[in-house]
Amino acid sequence: MDNTEKTVWKGSALTGPVPPALVVCGTAERPNVLTVAWTGIVNSHPPMTYVSVRPERYSYALIDGTGEFTVNLPTSSMARETDICGTLTGAKTDKIKKCGFTLSPGTRTGVPVIAECPLSLECRVSQKLDLGSHTMFIAEILAVQVASRLIDSKGKLNLQQAGLLAFSHGEYFALGRKCGNIGFSTK
Amino acid sequence: MDNTEKTVWKGSALTGPVPPALVVCGTAERPNVLTVAWTGIVNSHPPMTYVSVRPERYSYALIDGTGEFTVNLPTSSMARETDICGTLTGAKTDKIKKCGFTLSPGTRTGVPVIAECPLSLECRVSQKLDLGSHTMFIAEILAVQVASRLIDSKGKLNLQQAGLLAFSHGEYFALGRKCGNIGFSTK
């Protein structure tokens, strides 16, 4: 078989790898966390992200209610907790307690961040798009909290040391072999 | 130092890992390719994706002009080509020729796909949002083309066999150790 032979399927929500983000929503007193794979950066200046959430999910009204959320990136050692937060509903389970997460306050939002995650984005919704199955919450990233241990003496963030978790087509992966730095091909 | 101690920075476009997608745009006669890290899924039904592109980039007018593009996911063995397509401009270089890519026709779009990529999404723009530095093109995924060698005898797509490339904070990575299937935590 020709190695580049392709099979054509109808349209499908397929891409990867993506960050399986732990999204905290609600309030400091009554927070909830859900895992969202449909997230990413949509703008650099000002920095903006999005999360796409089904209106049926318990967290939808929490995000919609406060207009705030935090995106917390898990490490590969947090795969189990990440899966729990994407599988169980906050309507029936205190997932933060079940996962043993430590919450710490947001600095620009009323929503807390997950201390165990090496990178947390504090976000405020600026726009909401109903696209069909999901509603896309587009949000400005007001502040980021990074694990101090990842910042070197020059103030540079060494995010590769965090060991971030990846999600691709229903499977979780650790990041593996480094293939290069941006711009390496033209140096 | 407390392992969970965090440092607070101002908002920044930080997330990862993301797919460093090879986006083909233009026409079958005059195609161009650029690498876009700001992409992801925004809706499942109908399947929708997005790419955020700076208006200064050569490809901006090509996407805006036809309202179509294809998203092609590279493997870890294509890191160099992926970097080239994110670093050089199509205004001065024929990147498709330079990278040695084979183009094959889109089935639902006039824009071709990259045969060497194991997964290609054929997309039509449905909405355009100017967010600041970037314009977000939200698009319906009309068809997907998957490498036939990744489809098993039951018709299941084994995307992990593709060895997709990941991008995180300026670095390219192969995917590494598998940490579980979706739902594994509650089984």
CA distance A28 to chain B (A): 18
DSSP state of A137: E
For residue B145, give the nearest of A8, A144, A177 by CB distance.
Answer: A8
CA distance A131 to chain B (A): 6
End-to-end CA, chain A:
36
SS3 B18: strand
Q: By the 8 A CB rule, do A1 and B149 touch?
A: yes
The ranges assigned to domains in chain B are: 21-148+160-176
Q: With contacts defined as CB-CB under 8 Å, which chain A residues touch B134?
A: 42-44
Phi-psi region of B44 (alpha: psi -120 to 50; beta: other; left: phi over 0): alpha
SS3 A139: strand
For residue B14, give the nearest of A119, A142, A182 by CB distance.
Answer: A119
CA atoms within 13 A on the CB side of B71: 32
Q: By the 8 A CB rule, do A40 and B38 touch?
A: yes
- At B102-124, the pLDDT tens digits run 999 999 999 999 999 999 999 99
pLDDT band at A66; cut points 50, 70, 90: very high
Chain B residue with the nearest C-alpha to that of A6: B147
- At A94-132, the pLDDT tens digits run 999 999 999 999 999 999 999 999 999 999 999 999 999
The owner of tokens 């400091």 is: A28
- At B73-109, the pLDDT tens digits run 999 999 999 999 999 999 999 999 999 999 999 999 9
CA distance A120 to chain B (A): 9
Contacts by B52-57, CB closer than 8 A, 24 or more apart: B52/A41, B52/A42, B52/A43, B52/B131, B52/B134, B52/B135, B52/B136, B52/B137, B53/B134, B53/B135, B53/B137, B54/B133, B54/B134, B54/B135, B55/B135, B57/B89
pLDDT given for residue B3 in this prediction? 79
Distances (CA, A) of B27 to A138, B62, B65, B68, B154: 31, 8, 10, 9, 35
- At A50-59, the pLDDT tens digits run 999 999 999 9
For residue B173, give the nearest of A46, A79, A177 by CB distance.
Answer: A177
pLDDT band at B2; cut points 50, 70, 90: low
Q: Which architecture, in CATH terms, is B21-148+160-176?
A: Roll (2.30)
CB contact under 8 A, B12 and A47: yes
DSSP helix, strand, coil percent of chain A (3-state; round to 5) = 20, 45, 35
CB contact under 8 A, A50 and B42: yes
CB contact under 8 A, A40 and B15: yes
ipTM above 0.90, yes or no: yes
Residue A2 pLDDT greater than 80, yes or no: no
Whole-model pTM over 0.95: yes
Q: Which of B1, B4, B24, B89 to mutate to test the interface with A (most CBs of A within 10 A)?
A: B4
Give yes or no for a cis peptide into A17 (omega within 30° of 0).
Answer: yes
Q: By the 8 A CB rule, do B101 and B62 touch?
A: no
CB contact under 8 A, B19 and A16: yes
pLDDT given for residue B92 in this prediction? 94
Return d(Cα A18, Cα B37) in angstroms, integer.
10
Residue A85's CB: how many other CB atoms inside 10 A?
A: 31
Q: Which of B123, B132, B185 is nearest to A44 (CA)?
A: B132
Class of domain A21-147+159-176: mainly beta
pLDDT given for residue B1 in this prediction? 52
End-to-end CA, chain B:
36
